Structure 1
Amino acid sequence: MADLASKTALVTGGTSGIGLAVVRRFVEEGAHVVVTGRTAEKLQAVKSEFGDAVTIVQGDVSRIEDLDDVFAAVGERGSGLDVVFANAGGGEFAALEDITWEHFSSTFESNVGGTVFTVQKALPHLNQGAAIVLTSSNIDVKGSAAFSVYAASKAAVRSFARSWAAELVDRGIRVNSVAPGPIATPGLSGLAAEPEQAEALLGGLAAGVPMRRLGSPEEIADAVLYLSSPRSSYVTGAELYVDGGASQI
């Protein structure tokens, strides 16, 4: 029996990288997946790959009206939600002296606000025993030069997992976070100022991991599946580090 057979899941930011790998894994495990993304072309590619196994909704999680559209689509399906993977977000490098209000606000609106209101608006749709998984980062317990705003936003996400787990435990709803290390995704490469700098960036990040390599989106997807499935039925309020030991060794 597939772990998510006949379940309905929501994946925000599901058109590339970790989000897309999770969509693929959830579909393989029997779920119908509502997938959000900001780009129509990428969403259509998801629809082409997965067909009737997915419902696509274009939107930006930092916009309340877009989230309303997402949950209208969830409501139209009439099956509620068994899994929410609140994944959409991102960040950019900025040293302390270079942080602008726009940089700060855009990061927190997406990573923090988007997570808060995705989960809040999911509440009426969550079935008994549902699982919520938040995308944090191993940087939430580390210091990283020129990445402080992103790190702080992910520390907030980690805190939400604990508090919401406490709030929702009486409904049988589990809330956990997954904390990736450096993962080989387009988003990670995009942190480089120029394409020719990406190779050096990725190499440097891999060298800082005890396992001496970047992780793959599929490795994160396996961790998210675990936290989303009955296999983790006694796990809530936790953070699962999937970072090659970078935060632990």
Structure 2
Amino acid sequence: MYNCLKKIERLFYEKTGITFVNKEAIFYIKIAEIMKNASIFSCEELLQSLQSDENLFKTFIEELTVSQSFFFRESSHFDILVELIHKEHIIAPSILSLPCANGEEPYSIAIVLLQNGIESFSIDAIDINPKAIEKAMNGKYEKRALINLDENIKKRFFNCKDRYCVVKNFLKQFINFYTLNLFDDAILTFGKYDFIFCRNLFIYLDAVKKEEALHIFHKVLKPEGYLFVSFSDYFKKHAGFDKIICDNKIFYKKLPE
């Protein structure tokens, strides 16, 4: 049984780059739930099904990459973003939000830019979880997700009723949502970005995948573009980036090639 579970864990890592080495208890609980819902009665049957059934593996990804977020999380990054756009006179900045979870981050970025008079920009928002992308595109959130937003922002950007708030269509037009794995080569076809927000992903990657992720971000950033990560993310300094500390916040600038 244990060897079979380790094989499933390895399969998930190989296909997604995400490791559960330090979170195996959560991993095994999720496996038990998936087996119950799919009426699968042995670990070996689950392994075989995951290898042959693409839809089941998509469900597997959905169950194992569920992430909770809220609007204006680590908002000091957004303040730095606005400052950099103005300071460096970046016209029509292009931004990547990955993973974007249920859409709170890209919508927050769009709100901040519009609130600061920046009206020409584009955001690509990417997540491996198709259910998360579906929710992000719908733009419907419980009011508690908007706890950090004042009433004027809520009125300008959302239609709120009862327990829910829905993103207004004019805000949605700034964001393109995609279901995609960071480690899929297709990411390299999206173009180049001035800014990348990749927050709360590196904590799920091992050293090998962290290095690979940084290499990808280096490729898709414009010359001297910026990478923002979460305070909980950690990786050794990458040769292609300069580490910047501002007001106790760490972010990275792509070094000239």
Shorter-normalised TM-score: what interval?
A: 0.3 to 0.5
Between Structure 1 and Structure 2, the one with more helix by share is 1
Which structure exhibits the higher relative contact order, with contacts defined as CA atoms closer than 8 Å and separated by 6 or more residues? Answer: 1
